[in-house]
Amino acid sequence: MNLIIDVGNTFVKFAVFQQDSLVEKKSVSGEFFLKEFKNIIKNHKEIDKCIISSVGKLNNQDVNYLQKKLKTFVLNSETKLPFKNLYETPKTLGVDRIALVCASVEQFPDKNVLIIDAGTCITYDFITTKNEYLGGAISPGIRLRYQALHNLTANLPLLETKMPESTIGNSTASSIHSGVVFGILKEIDGVIDEYQQKYSDLTVILTGGDANFLSKQLKNSIFANSNFLLEGLNFILEYNSN
């Protein structure tokens, strides 16, 4: 059994895999990291190895504790990968983006794949039929846009995410919802259209915390998979264990 740990900007996700099958998934805030880890290894004594992917803050003492309990692999820019990385600054490429590309290599081999991760940020990553990773884009996610409107202006309120009823907002609140949500939907559809003009056989994956919220509103055909990053990390762990 494999333990997958994804340390994000907001939450820490734990996933237990039996080969390619997801057995359990938990999400906790960073303060409960060690407590949840102890619970999982207590409940799944068959776990024998672990991978950590971190784009957030992870205490070195916590990593050391994990390494004493399990064979632990920390994903970084030096990790052996199953694709050719043509990113000009590979050391700055986020480990979350690496994991997403690895998932596409495993699940959609020899395809042109655009992976869209809608989380704190929205990331776009593209890999070709030749198994070459070219890069992509990074833009603010839903919550960042709401927060920016509130924090960087004097009078705009901080709102909870809501699907707007109309493009035309008839109040400050509905105008913010329209600008944020429809702005993101138009952005994503526009990016997909741009790639499809160059790659007619494009496969599009949408994942991340806001994937379910956005997926039904997009005009383009996509595969929505909220576990795509976790599956990619599991694949990397197996790939580097053989």
Q: What is the DSSP string of 144-201?
A: HHHHHHHHTSSSPPP------S-SS-SSHHHHHHIIIIIHHHHHHHHHHHHHHHH-TT
Take residue 9 and report the two structure tokens written for it: 């900007």
Q: Are 142 and 184 in contact (CB under 8 A)?
A: yes
- Specify the 3-state DSSP secondary structure of 80: coil
Q: Is 212 annotated as a binding residue?
A: no
Q: Is 193 annotated as a binding residue?
A: no
Q: Is 7 annotated as a binding residue?
A: yes
Q: Is 128 annotated as a binding residue?
A: no
Q: Is 210 annotated as a binding residue?
A: no
Q: Is 120 annotated as a binding residue?
A: yes
Q: Is 95 annotated as a binding residue?
A: yes
Q: Is 125 one of the catalytic residues?
A: no
Q: Return the half-sphere exposure (C-beta side, CA atoms, 13 A cut-off) of residue 95.
A: 22
Nearest one of 211, 210, 235, 234 to 224, comparing CA atoms: 211
Active-site residue, from 96, 110, 189, 193 = 96
Q: Is 89 annotated as a binding residue?
A: no
| Type of residue at 7 | V
Binding-site residues for ATP = 6-13, 120
Annotated binding residues for K(+): 117
Give catalytic residue positions.
96
Binding residues are 6-13, 87, 94-97, 117, 120, 172
Which positions make up the binding site for substrate? 87, 94-97, 172
